[in-house]
Structure 1
Amino acid sequence: MEQVRIKLVGGTDTQTASDCSTQDALRDALVAQCLAAAQAGNSDALFDLAMAFSTGSHGITVDLIEAHKWFNLAAVGGHEDAPHCRADLAEEMTAREIAEAQRRAREWLRDGNARRVA
Structure 2
Amino acid sequence: MKLLLDENLPKKLKLDFPEHEVYTVTDKGWNGVKNGELLKLLLNDGFDALLTFDKNLQHQQNFKKYTICVFVMIAPINTYAELSKLVPLIKKAIKKSTLVGPIIISL
Q: Normalised by the shorter chain, which TM-score bucket?
A: under 0.3
Higher helix share: 1
Structure 2 length-normalised TM: 0.25
Bigger radius of gyration among the two = 1
> Which structure has the higher relative contact order (CA within 8 Å, separation 6+)?
2
Higher strand share: 2
Structure 1 length-normalised TM: 0.23
